[in-house]
């Protein structure tokens, strides 16, 4: 037989459980969504380039860009330009946005120019890329582009993303 005390305890536990359930079911929906949608992308992008030389050794360059940006459902875009060896210009267009769950989408295009100078308009290779970063995760991705137009594989750039999806 249940004592009065036990019955009362059981009732208050049930009440507490109901309160927790209520909080869980009816959070401030909009505030939660806004917090989840704004994330910080943090890390580095390293552009490594090889400039093939007919005489002598190739020229090798490496540039690192540090990223720490707030990402939201509105797309943010950047252009990062690096040069190497007096003949190559690598242009990286990179875009970021979050979805409703706070997942960051990363995508873009790499343009590889090779010619008489780093200001050349001779576009010899193009690559597109896209990947996603779950909240709290860190991702590394290599994107490769090379001199396709002149079939010179020794002219190339590799863009290395090492980026994390953190709270704002
Ligand atoms: Ca060259
Ligand atoms: Ca050169
Ligand atoms: Ca060329």
Distance between CA atoms of residues 57 and 71, nearest Å? 42
Domain ranges of the chain: 4-29, 38-167
CA 146 – CA 2 distance, rounded (Å): 79
Instruction: Using pLDDT thresholds of 50, 70 and 90, give the confidence band for residue 141.
Output: very high
pLDDT for the residue 46: 98
CA 107 / ligand 1 centre spacing (Å): 29
pLDDT of residue 25: 42
- Give me the pLDDT at residue 19, please: 45
Phi/psi at 119 (5° precision) = -90, 5
Q: Give the ligand with the smallest distance to the CA of 84.
A: 2
| 49 CA → ligand 3 middle, Å | 15
What pLDDT, on a 0 to 100 scale, did the predictor assign at position 18?
44
CA of 59 to the centre of ligand 1 (A): 8
Residue 54 C-alpha to ligand 2 middle, in angstroms? 9
Distance from residue 90's CA to the centre of ligand 3 (Å)? 13
């Amino acid at each position: 037989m249940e004592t009065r005390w036990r019955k009362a305890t059981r009732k208050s536990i049930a009440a507490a459980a109901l309160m927790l359930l209520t909080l869980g079911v009816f959070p401030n929906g909009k505030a939660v969504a806004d917090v989840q949608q704004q994330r910080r992308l943090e890390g580095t992008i390293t552009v490594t380039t090889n400039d093939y030389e007919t005489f002598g050794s190739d020229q090798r360059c490496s540039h690192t860009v540090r990223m720490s940006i707030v990402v939201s459902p509105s797309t943010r875009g950047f252009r990062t330009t690096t040069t190497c060896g007096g003949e190559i210009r690598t242009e990286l267009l990179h875009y970021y946005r979050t979805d409703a769950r706070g997942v960051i989408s990363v995508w873009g295009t790499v343009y590889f120019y090779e010619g008489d100078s780093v200001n050349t308009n001779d576009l010899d290779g193009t690559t597109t890329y896209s990947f996603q970063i779950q909240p709290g995760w860190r991702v590394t991705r290599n994107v490769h582009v090379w001199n396709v137009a002149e079939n010179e594989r020794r002219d190339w750039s590799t863009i290395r993303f090492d980026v994390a999806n953190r709270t704002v």
